[in-house]
Amino acid sequence: MTPNDVLAALDESPHDQPTAPAIVVGVDVSAGSREALRWAATESRRTGLPLCVLHAWQMDDLPAASTRATDYTQACAADARARATRWTRDTLGDDRAKSRWTLEIVEGAAGPALVSRSRSAGVLVLGTAAHTGQRHVVGGSVSRYCLAHAVPPVVAVPAAATALDS
């Protein structure tokens, strides 16, 4: 399925109904994620579909559960929300008022969180970057996971080329 096929499917969806699917975009503050959010926001405005911005975060294992561990976890969650909110607002800029968007913060692995949240979505949008070598082997690929498991079409948006890429 090409991006144009996805756009055609979005155009045919019932935008004015409250049960209309959303555009779900996964963000992680990378360059590819920034481009994916911009693309998804443009499609949200074009189609009238609501935009769900999803940021998944994970924390290293903590020692045995305690009040200090709970406080630390809550502080980490608040920090993840604050950083993702600031990054999303900065990325959308003045266009943020032109789209119906929500931000969801999920603790857990990004791939499964995105697949779960996008089950009833019209499309799942992801930023991509070249993952090679040890980083790919150790960390895997969220895009690859979503392409293999997601229900809706997946649009993979590459990071914009920079002067260093030329």
Output the domain CATH number for residue 30: 3.40.50.620
Instruction: Give the count of domains, the chain.
Output: 1
pLDDT band at 18 (very low <50, low <70, confident <90, very high): very low
What's residue 112's pLDDT? 97
Contact 41, 93 (CB under 8 A): no
Question: Is residue 30, in this structure, part of any structural domain at all?
Answer: yes
Distances from the Cα of 123 to the Cα of 108, 115, 116, 137, 146, angstroms: 21, 11, 13, 27, 11
Burial class (CB in 10 A: 0-12, 13-18, 19+), 11: exposed
- 119 phi and psi, to 5 degrees? -55, -40
Question: Is residue 88, in this structure, part of any structural domain at all?
Answer: yes
Question: Is residue 13, in this structure, part of any structural domain at all?
Answer: no
Place of tokens 């914009």: 160
Question: Is residue 4, in this structure, part of any structural domain at all?
Answer: no
The parent domain of residue 130 ranges over 23-61+68-158
pLDDT band at 61 (very low <50, low <70, confident <90, very high): low
Instruction: Kindly give the pairing relationship between strand 101-107 and strand 51-57.
Output: parallel
Question: Is residue 31, in this structure, part of any structural domain at all?
Answer: yes
Kindly report the average pLDDT of the chain as a whole number: 81
84, pLDDT greater than 50:
yes
Contact 129, 159 (CB under 8 A): yes
Cα–Cα distance measured from residue 110 to residue 28, given in angstroms and rounded to the nearest whole number:
9
The region of weakest confidence among 37-46, 58-67, 116-125, 139-148 is: 58-67
